[in-house]
């Protein structure tokens, strides 16, 4: 699902981090509502900014089960819930249970999403012009449940159940979604099973200093489970973090996505966003195939301050054979700064500016590293 960037820059409050999910799904503790020996419930004010949403705000909470501690990497079973409204008139409600069974050898990771989301569409392909831009309104219900088995210390594998119901509520008269045969321009149901494999040696998740993260994922949407179209999706996410001296490192990521079959436009690979292609609107370019490669240099010039510079390139295409034409590659350059909220907890505020080609650019303010 879309990853949420969380921060609070309007009020001076006390922060603590209790993050289990990788990537952007880091949360900030601001106040304990209720606590016993068995659980702790905290409140979470939320604010964020992305080019796709503009400024967004809301609130939620996170319930931790204190006696269900995982012996691997010291994580707690928890349920995160949030409600968000953006100035682009988007409404997002999410519930994310993460439950460790036994001593952590098994792990259930679930996610429910309700989203009322006005969005932009330029058509399908790697070279759609800016003049194609049109808006549409969509309501989404999505449920993703993963069951993982850990192979200590660093391996895990498991299976997924995936369900997404996309209802198009409004499109522009005479636009691409109205006049062309775009799969998903009325209603789309994605339903099926998946399998995933992780190898993770990072020293921490939100802002790694060293280690590797390798993930391979396969998803299969089938009419047997109620899907409107049958298709297959394969994702490969490879990351490496190499220390350079005492206070700096190089981070690398190669991300690829391949789709086969009759794919609704909502399920196509999407280029852009605050994680994989900063400098481009998320979904500015969509197609069946995509790759993104990015490198970031991070220099911690003070114990709680880091500067970063990044470069990336990638593209989408209908077929892999269409990749790597010089005229099709979408590069981006950018820089940013990070501030460590607490001395003893590895949670960082992040500000990035990315600039792509043809006037594409983005400003991102959130929590922890993009990858």
What average pLDDT does range 280-293 have in this prediction? Answer: 96
Q: What's the DSSP call for residue 266?
A: G
Check whether 28 has a pLDDT greater than 60. Answer: no
* The pLDDT value given to residue 112: 97
What average pLDDT does range 287-296 have in this prediction? Answer: 98
Give the position of tokens 């969380």.
Answer: 6
Determine the Cα angle at 286 with ends 366 and 134, to 5°. Answer: 85
Answer with the residue of higher pLDDT: 161 or 37: 161
What average pLDDT does range 150-174 have in this prediction? Answer: 93
* The pLDDT value given to residue 68: 59
* The pLDDT value given to residue 7: 34
Range of weakest confidence among 21-25, 132-136, 149-153: 21-25
pTM above 0.85, yes or no: no
| pLDDT classification of 173: cutoffs 50, 70, 90 | very high
Check whether 25 has a pLDDT greater than 80. Answer: no
Residue 11 CA: distances (Å) to CA of 17, 30, 45? 17, 11, 10
- Tokens describing residue 247: 């206070």
Contact 64, 96 (CB under 8 A): no
- Coil vs helix vs strand at 178: helix
Q: What is the pLDDT of residues 207-224, one digit of tens each?
A: 899 999 999 999 999 999
Where does 16-367 sit in CATH, by number?
2.40.160.50
* The pLDDT value given to residue 72: 58
| pLDDT classification of 16: cutoffs 50, 70, 90 | very low
* The pLDDT value given to residue 44: 75
Q: What is the pLDDT of residues 67-117, one digit of tens each?
A: 755 655 556 788 989 999 998 889 999 999 989 887 778 889 999 999 999
Q: What is the pLDDT of residues 117-128, one digit of tens each?
A: 999 999 999 999
* The pLDDT value given to residue 27: 39
d(CA 43, CA 111): 19
- Tokens describing residue 195: 């399998």
Mean pLDDT of the chain: 86
Identify whether 182 is preceded by a cis peptide bond (ω within 30 of 0).
no
d(CA 90, CA 167): 15
Check whether 9 has a pLDDT greater than 70. Answer: no
Answer with the residue of higher pLDDT: 298 or 54: 298
Q: What is the DSSP annotation of 301-367?
A: EETTEEEEEEEEEEEEESSGGGTT-TTT---EEEEEEEEEEETTEEEEEEEEEEE-STT-EEEEEEE
């Amino acid at each position: 699902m879309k990853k949420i960037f969380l921060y609070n820059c309007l009020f001076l409050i006390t922060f603590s981090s209790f993050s289990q999910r990788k990537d952007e799904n880091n949360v900030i503790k601001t106040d304990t509502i209720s606590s016993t020996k068995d659980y702790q419930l905290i409140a979470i004010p939320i604010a964020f900014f992305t080019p796709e949403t503009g400024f967004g705000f809301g609130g939620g909470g996170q319930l931790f089960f204190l006696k269900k501690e995982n012996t691997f990497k010291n994580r707690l079973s928890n349920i995160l819930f949030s409600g968000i409204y953006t100035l682009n008139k988007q409404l997002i409600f999410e519930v994310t249970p993460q439950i460790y069974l036994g001593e952590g050898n098994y792990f259930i990771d679930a996610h429910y999403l309700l989203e009322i989301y006005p969005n932009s569409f330029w058509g399908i392909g790697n070279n759609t012009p800016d003049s194609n831009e049109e808006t549409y309104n969509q309501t989404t219900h999505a449920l993703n449940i993963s069951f993982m088995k850990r192979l200590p210390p660093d391996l895990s594998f498991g299976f997924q159940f995936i369900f997404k119901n996309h209802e198009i509520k409004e499109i522009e008269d005479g636009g691409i979604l109205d006049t062309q045969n775009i799969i998903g321009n009325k209603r789309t149901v994605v339903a099926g099973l998946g399998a995933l494999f992780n190898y993770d040696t990072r020293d921490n998740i939100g802002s790694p200093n060293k280690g590797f993260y390798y993930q391979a994922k396969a998803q299969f949407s089938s009419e047997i489970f109620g899907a409107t179209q049958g298709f297959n999706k394969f994702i490969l996410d490879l990351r490496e973090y190499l220390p350079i001296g005492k206070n700096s490192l190089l981070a690398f990521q190669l991300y690829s996505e391949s789709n086969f079959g009759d794919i609704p436009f909502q399920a196509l690979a999407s280029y852009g966003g605050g994680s994989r292609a900063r400098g481009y609107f998320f979904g500015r370019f969509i197609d069946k195939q995509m790759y993104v490669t990015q490198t970031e240099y991070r220099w911690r010039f003070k114990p709680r301050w880091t500067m970063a510079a990044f470069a990336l390139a990638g593209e989408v295409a209908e077929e892999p054979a269409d990749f790597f034409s010089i005229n099709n590659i979408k590069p981006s350059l950018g820089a940013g700064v990070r501030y460590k909220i607490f001395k003893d907890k590895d949670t960082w505020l992040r500000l990035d500016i990315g600039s792509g080609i043809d006037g594409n650019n983005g400003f991102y303010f959130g929590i922890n590293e993009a990858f």
